[in-house]
């Protein structure tokens, strides 16, 4: 599409003003991400200098008051919660999208899609609250104490499900119609068509959806803070309480000082590193290299 | 295929049918359970006094009046900053740089990263930058500015799409008529791109109003009526969090506050999808 080149001269003085204004706003918007990284590093630097990166994984425990800063249990908490929820939400979300496109009667597909959209808009604190008052007591009856890794996984699953369902929905919509007609002409039954024709055609969109939901699962704070019990330990079963990196920041930031505060910024950096890795792999997939 | 596949196909088809419908039913039931629970427990507590009265006894009794005011103020600050920044950037990206421009590509990449930043990291950044470095302290201003950084990518993306949906001959005709770029933008492109802008705006408001983690360490917990933008103010989502986690016996009011928040978001999302379907493709009537 046509764009004006802002370097060429224009007869109007207002055009120059406009150009300066637009460049100014874009510079500011573009530097925010950089600014965030700079401030995370600046605030984390004292901890990296005094404590060193290695001790964040080799210290015996997380007791900032005694100078022990082991992030590993919380990193495990984040990874387990993420893995569990992605494992459950991915098939459910993709099946949801398939339901909308190929199984649901037309009268049902529209409302179902709206329902998923609504689910996507509900704030995390509401999910967390519902998890706290409904889900945690239920789990507590089966296997005390209740606030646990399992509760966190289930709540995260409900939260990230709309992300993958909507992404899968969009990528299924982009499968060319003549593929489907061709499959129908070959007499393929519905599921065989989905498995052999639709999935390969929609693969890159589905993978992007998985990456987006993984990012959401890693970054989620409030809901998981409310249902996970927040005990700093590497969980040995689904019913153990855990604390994630995000929850740790939210819980301790209020009173953290000095090296402790800097250590929380280090965990912020770890989260950012995970997210950047995900964005890079999303880029890689969307360029189609995954098929090579 | 040489083998007769009918037997296994039938089984497989049947299994697929069952699991697709099973997934759909499971998702629907969970959603209805969640929403039904919030409405059932929340509805009986909502009244005009609940919406206007100040909270009493740490929120166990009383209402959410000052909290709604704080939420509104935080949102106002967020929009006052993010709208000009977002629209300006979107105009530059869509109208004044080509797709291969290095600055444009860098800005887009940077906004992609920004869109993926976890909200708690925004909270850390807001606390370090706005509260400490700029000296704004725990205030509505810090919270609103932090949220502005957060909604910027959503706002820019859909505004840019709005501009890209404007047909190219508008630009060519305006250039042929010798209109200045400012006039083209203000009188022609901006009105045509308004639907995209509105969708972005509504989505951004939805994201901002639902946010909790980015606000705890920027706008704070104080539940009094704020007197200025430099006062700390408690957002509705933080109120729900505080009532359910830190105040025993606060569940009833937490339910009611959650219902208020959900209703707000349903209205916001409804508006967004209505705008998207009804006006995004509307064009200026050519005479």
Q: Among candidates B207, B210, B204, B201, which has minimal Cα distance to B262?
A: B210
Does the structure show a pLDDT above 90 at B223? Answer: no
Domains, chain B, ordered by start? 69-235 (1.10.3720.10)
Do the chains contact at A219 and B13, CB–CB below 8 Å?
A: no
For B:119-148, CB contacts with A below 8 A are: 119-125, 127-129, 133
Instruction: Please check whether residue A218 is in contact with residue A127, taking contact to mean a CB–CB distance below 8 angstroms.
Output: no
Give the span between the Cα atoms of A171 and B120, in whole angstroms: 30
Instruction: Please check whether residue A259 is in contact with residue A46, taking contact to mean a CB–CB distance below 8 angstroms.
Output: yes
**What is residue B1's predicted lDDT score, i.e. its pLDDT?**
40
Q: Name chain A contacts of B164, Cβ cutoff 8 Å.
A: 1
Neighbouring residues of A45: CB distance < 8 A, sequence distance ≥ 6: A262
Q: Among candidates B161, B149, B163, which has minimal Cα distance to B82?
A: B149
Instruction: Please check whether residue B21 is in contact with residue A99, taking contact to mean a CB–CB distance below 8 angstroms.
Output: yes
Q: How far is CA A32 from CA A181, B95, B221, in A?
A: 48, 22, 26
Do the chains contact at A115 and B27, CB–CB below 8 Å?
A: yes
Mean pLDDT of A177-205: 89
Mean pLDDT of A112-136: 90
Give the span between the Cα atoms of B179 and A12, in whole angstroms: 10
Q: Which residues of A41-71 are buried (b: 16+ CB within 10 A; e: fewer)?
A: eebbebbbeebeeebbeebeebebeeeebbb
Neighbouring residues of B152: CB distance < 8 A, sequence distance ≥ 6: A29, A32, B82, B85, B86, B89, B111, B114
Task: Decide if A42 is inside a domain.
Answer: no
Q: Name chain A contacts of B125, Cβ cutoff 8 Å.
A: 35-36, 39-40
Please state, as a whole number, how many other Cβ atoms lie within 10 Å of the Cβ of residue A277. Answer: 12
Do the chains contact at A33 and B111, CB–CB below 8 Å?
A: yes
Neighbouring residues of B266: CB distance < 8 A, sequence distance ≥ 6: A118, A121
Mean pLDDT of A26-55: 88
Do the chains contact at B33 and A191, CB–CB below 8 Å?
A: no
Instruction: Please check whether residue A262 is in contact with residue A198, taking contact to mean a CB–CB distance below 8 angstroms.
Output: no
B28 lies within 8 A of chain A by CB: yes
- Mutation for testing the A interface, residue in B121, B164, B178 having most A CBs under 10 Å: B121
**What is residue B286's predicted lDDT score, i.e. its pLDDT?**
45
Q: Which residues of B17-36 are buried (b: 16+ CB within 10 A; e: fewer)?
A: eebbeebbeebbebbeebbe
Q: Name chain A contacts of B19, Cβ cutoff 8 Å.
A: 95
B206 lies within 8 A of chain A by CB: yes
Do the chains contact at B85 and A189, CB–CB below 8 Å?
A: no
Task: Decide if A22 is inside a domain.
Answer: no
**Which residue range forms the structural domain that includes residue A152?**
62-291
Does the structure show a pLDDT above 90 at B202? Answer: no
- Mutation for testing the A interface, residue in B12, B92, B173 having most A CBs under 10 Å: B92
Q: Which residue of A has its CA nearest to B202?
A: A121
Task: Decide if A17 is inside a domain.
Answer: no
Q: How far is CA B123 from CA A120, A208, B153, in A?
A: 22, 26, 17
Neighbouring residues of B205: CB distance < 8 A, sequence distance ≥ 6: B75, B79, B151, B268
Q: Which residue of A has its CA nearest to B26?
A: A92
Instruction: Please check whether residue A36 is in contact with residue A224, taking contact to mean a CB–CB distance below 8 angstroms.
Output: no
Q: Which of B85, B123, B265 sits opposite A29 (nearest CB)?
A: B85
Q: Which of B23, B95, B122 sits opposite A4 (nearest CB)?
A: B95
Does the structure show a pLDDT above 90 at A80? Answer: yes
CATH, residue A87: 1.10.3720.10
Tell me the pLDDT tens digit for each residue of A27-37.
Answer: 998 899 999 99
Do the chains contact at A29 and B19, CB–CB below 8 Å?
A: no
Do the chains contact at A115 and B124, CB–CB below 8 Å?
A: no
Do the chains contact at A130 and B37, CB–CB below 8 Å?
A: yes
Q: How confident is the model at residue A232 (pLDDT cuts 50, 70, 90)?
A: confident
DSSP structural state of residue A62: E
B186 lies within 8 A of chain A by CB: no
Task: Decide if A14 is inside a domain.
Answer: no
Average pLDDT along chain A: 87
Instruction: Please check whether residue B12 is in contact with residue B232, taking contact to mean a CB–CB distance below 8 angstroms.
Output: no
Give the span between the Cα atoms of B202 and B270, in whole angstroms: 10
Q: Among candidates B129, B215, B125, which has minimal Cα distance to A264?
A: B125
Do the chains contact at B269 and A29, CB–CB below 8 Å?
A: no
Q: Which residue of A has its CA nearest to B16?
A: A191
Mean pLDDT of A74-82: 93
**pLDDT: which is higher, A206 or A67:** A206
Instruction: Please check whether residue A40 is in contact with residue B121, taking contact to mean a CB–CB distance below 8 angstroms.
Output: yes
**What is residue B140's predicted lDDT score, i.e. its pLDDT?**
92
Q: Name chain A contacts of B121, Cβ cutoff 8 Å.
A: 36, 40, 219, 268, 271-272
Place of tokens 């009011």: B253
**What is residue A282's predicted lDDT score, i.e. its pLDDT?**
82
**What is residue B287's predicted lDDT score, i.e. its pLDDT?**
39
Q: How many domains, in total, are found in chain A?
A: 1
Neighbouring residues of B55: CB distance < 8 A, sequence distance ≥ 6: B61, B62, B63, B64, B66, B67, B223, B239, B253
- Mutation for testing the B interface, residue in A40, A121, A216, A273 having most B CBs under 10 Å: A121
> How many residues are listed for chain B in this entry?
287
Q: Among candidates A260, A211, A231, which has minimal Cα distance to A76?
A: A231
Q: Which residue of A has its CA nearest to B252?
A: A133
Tell me the pLDDT tens digit for each residue of B32-58.
Answer: 999 999 999 888 888 888 888 888 887
**What is residue B54's predicted lDDT score, i.e. its pLDDT?**
86
Q: Which residue of A has its CA nearest to B31?
A: A119
Q: Is ipTM > 0.95 here? A: no
Tell me the pLDDT tens digit for each residue of B156-189.
Answer: 988 988 888 888 888 899 889 988 888 888 888 8
DSSP structural state of residue A102: I
Give the span between the Cα atoms of B270 and B41, in whole angstroms: 23
Task: Decide if A46 is inside a domain.
Answer: no
B156 lies within 8 A of chain A by CB: yes
Task: Decide if A30 is inside a domain.
Answer: no
B203 lies within 8 A of chain A by CB: no
Instruction: Please check whether residue B23 is in contact with residue B215, taking contact to mean a CB–CB distance below 8 angstroms.
Output: no
Q: Among candidates A181, A152, A175, A179, which has minimal Cα distance to A97?
A: A175
Do the chains contact at A129 and B258, CB–CB below 8 Å?
A: yes
Task: Decide if A20 is inside a domain.
Answer: no
Neighbouring residues of B232: CB distance < 8 A, sequence distance ≥ 6: B137, B138, B139, B140, B219, B220, B221, B222, B226
Q: Among candidates A231, A245, A261, which has minimal Cα distance to B217?
A: A261
Do the chains contact at B96 and A1, CB–CB below 8 Å?
A: no
**pLDDT: which is higher, A10 or B104:** B104
Does the structure show a pLDDT above 50 at B24? Answer: yes
B245 lies within 8 A of chain A by CB: yes
Does the structure show a pLDDT above 50 at B212? Answer: yes
Number of H-type helices and E-type strands within chain A: 13, 2
Does the structure show a pLDDT above 50 at A187? Answer: yes
Does the structure show a pLDDT above 50 at B4? Answer: no
> Cis omega before residue A145 (within 30°)?
yes
């Amino acid at each position: 599409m046509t764009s004006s080149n802002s370097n060429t001269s224009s007869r109007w003085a207002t055009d120059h003003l406009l150009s300066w204004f637009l460049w100014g706003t874009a510079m500011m918007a573009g530097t925010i991400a950089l600014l965030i990284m700079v401030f995370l590093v600046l605030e984390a630097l004292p901890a990296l200098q005094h404590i060193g990166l290695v001790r964040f994984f080799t210290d015996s425990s997380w007791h900032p008051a005694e100078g022990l800063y082991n992030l590993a249990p919380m990193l495990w908490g984040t990874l387990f919660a993420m893995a569990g929820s992605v494992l459950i939400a991915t098939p459910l979300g993709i099946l949801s999208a398939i339901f909308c496109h190929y199984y649901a009667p037309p009268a049902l597909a529209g409302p179902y899609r709206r329902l998923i959209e609504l689910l996507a808009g509900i704030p995390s604190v509401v999910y967390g609250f519902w998890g706290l008052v409904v889900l945690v007591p239920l789990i507590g009856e089966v296997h005390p104490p209740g606030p646990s890794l399992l509760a966190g996984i289930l709540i995260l699953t409900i939260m990230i499900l709309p992300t993958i369902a909507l992404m899968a929905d969009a990528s299924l919509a982009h499968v060319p119609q003549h593929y489907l007609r061709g499959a129908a002409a070959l007499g393929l039954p519905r599921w065989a068509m989905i498995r052999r024709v639709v999935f390969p055609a929609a693969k890159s969109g589905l993978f992007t959806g998985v990456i987006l939901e993984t990012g959401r699962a890693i970054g989620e704070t409030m809901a998981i803070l409310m249902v996970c019990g927040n005990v700093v330990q590497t969980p040995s079963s689904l019913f153990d309480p855990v604390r994630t990196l995000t929850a740790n920041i939210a819980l301790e930031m209020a009173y953290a000082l000095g090296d402790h505060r800097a250590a929380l910024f280090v965990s912020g950096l770890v989260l950012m590193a995970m997210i950047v890795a995900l964005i890079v792999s999303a880029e890689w997939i969307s360029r189609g290299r995954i098929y090579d | 295929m040489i083998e007769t596949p009918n037997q296994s196909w039938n089984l497989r088809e049947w299994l697929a049918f069952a699991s697709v419908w099973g997934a759909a039913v499971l998702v629907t039931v969970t959603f209805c359970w969640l929403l039904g629970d919030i409405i059932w427990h929340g509805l009986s507590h909502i009244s005009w006094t609940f919406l206007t009265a100040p909270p009493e006894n740490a929120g166990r009794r009383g209402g959410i009046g000052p909290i709604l005011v704080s939420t509104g103020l935080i949102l106002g600050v967020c929009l006052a900053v993010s709208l000009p920044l977002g629209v300006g950037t979107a105009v530059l990206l869509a109208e004044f740089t080509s797709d291969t421009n290095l600055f444009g590509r860098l800005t887009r990449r940077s906004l992609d990263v920004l869109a993926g930043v976890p909200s708690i990291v925004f909270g850390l950044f807001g606390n370090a930058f706005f509260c400490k470095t700029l000296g704004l302290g725990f205030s509505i201003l810090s919270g609103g500015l932090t949220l502005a950084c957060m909604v910027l990518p959503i706002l820019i993306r859909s505004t840019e799409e709005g501009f890209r949906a404007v047909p190219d001959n508008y630009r060519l005709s305006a250039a042929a008529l010798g209109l200045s770029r400012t006039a083209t933008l203000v009188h022609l492109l901006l009105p045509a791109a308004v639907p995209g802008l509105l969708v972005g705006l509504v989505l951004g408001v939805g994201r901002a109003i639902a946010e909790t983690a980015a606000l705890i360490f920027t706008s704070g917990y104080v539940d009094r009526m704020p007197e200025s933008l430099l006062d700390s103010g408690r957002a509705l989502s933080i109120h729900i969090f505080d009532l359910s986690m830190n105040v025993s016996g606060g569940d009833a009011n937490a339910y009611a506050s959650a219902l208020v928040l959900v209703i707000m978001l349903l209205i916001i999302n409804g508006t967004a999808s209505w705008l998207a379907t009804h006006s995004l493709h509307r064009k200026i009537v050519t005479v």
